[in-house]
Amino acid sequence: MLLTGLLDQQVVFFGGKGGVGKTTCSAAFALAASRRGRRVLLVSTDPAHSTADIFERRIGPLEVEIAPRLSALEIDGDAEAKHYIDVVKRDIQKMFSASVIKAAYKQIEAAAASPGLVEVALLDRMIELIINRQQVYDLIVFDTAPTGHTLQLLRMPEAITTWIQALVKHRKALLEIDRGTETTTDAAALADPVLGALERRHDRLAQLRAIITDRSRTSFVLVGIPERLVIEETARAAEMLADTGVDIGGLVVNRVLPDDLEGEFYTSRKAQERTYLDEIDRRFSRLRRVRIRQLPRDVYGLSSLAVVSDHLVGPPTR
């Protein structure tokens, strides 16, 4: 069972526990798709620049072509967060009076220090890419940060949407009161900048949610290795994705030991691995599963990546 079917999706996420092979698999998958004629954007959210290492070249925050029909970019969460704060401040400046702005800035600075901000900023950038770059690319592949994190990101549109809806309601109620005292017209209510900004944001999140929960467009590939802790985390991730309504395109079981190894160490290692592989087959029987064997070397460079591509989606037909 290969992931070949996923090559026709519009958005594919790769996620999993740290160090299991997310970056390797997402790069190999993106490369395979581009070699089959699709225009692909590979997006990395990894601050360690692993994607750049694999392709043996610098990538950075702007889209660069790294192979025919394959472009890549790196999103830096901290830089996005800073940019995000700047934009929010600018918006506020347009909307409010000087005294309100001063108080608001205090709030913003506090928010800037909160741990969730980087995630919100990443989400914003992802939305931008998914919504705005779909005309240019047939497929966007996300190499995501370790599981919990990313899943929260995918669940976020829902949470934020509810929150924004509450804010909109609140704002509308305020405008109602205004109308009573100052005879504000409907047109003025419509032109309310706060309401406008909230509603635009709500629309974008709704759009994102529609795309990521559309099984014919978006899939999430779980990557793991045959080890106890990874299996448990993968099971939790699978459950969360199912809850969120995101299609699980498959489970990659990476670093499976070759069969022909000799010696007591490997025999015992392989025996343990076999029980985990069986467990994976049993517990994830409903998912498409792909095994990648442990290669003799780290994976970098196009030819080495192509070996992983073949494991994931089969060799190119041409």
- Which residues in this chain contact ligand ATP in the complex, by CB under 6 A? 18-24, 46, 50, 146, 254-255, 292, 294-295, 298-299
HEC letters along 40-95:
EEEEECCCCCHHHHHHCCCCCCCCEEEECCEEEEECCHHHHHHHHHHHHHHHHHHH
Asked if residue 254 binds Mg ion (CB under 5 A), the reply is no
Asked if residue 144 binds Mg ion (CB under 5 A), the reply is no
Runs of H (alpha helix) within 139-227: 147-182, 186-191, 193-212
Q: Which does 292 bind (CB under 5 to 8 A by kind): Mg ion, ligand ATP, none?
A: ligand ATP
Asked if residue 219 binds Mg ion (CB under 5 A), the reply is no
Are the beta carbons of 51 and 63 closer than 8 angstroms?
A: no
CB within 8 Å of 248: residues ≥ 6 apart: 219, 220, 221, 222, 238, 241, 242, 287
Min separation Cβ 99 and ligand ATP, Å? 46
Q: Which does 146 bind (CB under 5 to 8 A by kind): Mg ion, ligand ATP, none?
A: ligand ATP
Task: Locate 244 and state its tokens.
Answer: 């969120």
Q: Which of 11, 14, 15, 23 binds Mg ion (CB under 5 A)?
A: 23
Span of 46-54, 163-171, 299-307, 309-317 interacting with Mg ion by CB under 5 A? 46-54
Q: Which does 294 bind (CB under 5 to 8 A by kind): ligand ATP, Mg ion, none?
A: ligand ATP
Are the beta carbons of 25 and 312 closer than 8 angstroms?
A: yes
Q: Which of 26, 50, 147, 254 binds Mg ion (CB under 5 A)?
A: 50
Span of 23-31, 68-76, 110-118, 281-289 interacting with Mg ion by CB under 5 A? 23-31
Are the beta carbons of 10 and 217 closer than 8 angstroms?
A: yes
Angle at 250 between CA 245 and CA 253, to 5 degrees: 135
For tokens 């290969």, what's the residue?
Answer: 2
Asked if residue 147 binds Mg ion (CB under 5 A), the reply is no
Q: Which of 46, 74, 124, 192 binds Mg ion (CB under 5 A)?
A: 46
CA nearest neighbour of 78 among 17, 120, 126, 26 = 120
| Closer of 31 and 198 to Mg ion (Cβ) | 31
Q: Which does 77 bind (CB under 5 to 8 A by kind): Mg ion, ligand ATP, none?
A: none
Span of 15-23, 98-106, 134-142, 277-285 interacting with Mg ion by CB under 5 A? 15-23
- Site residues for Mg ion per CB under 5 A: 22-23, 46, 50
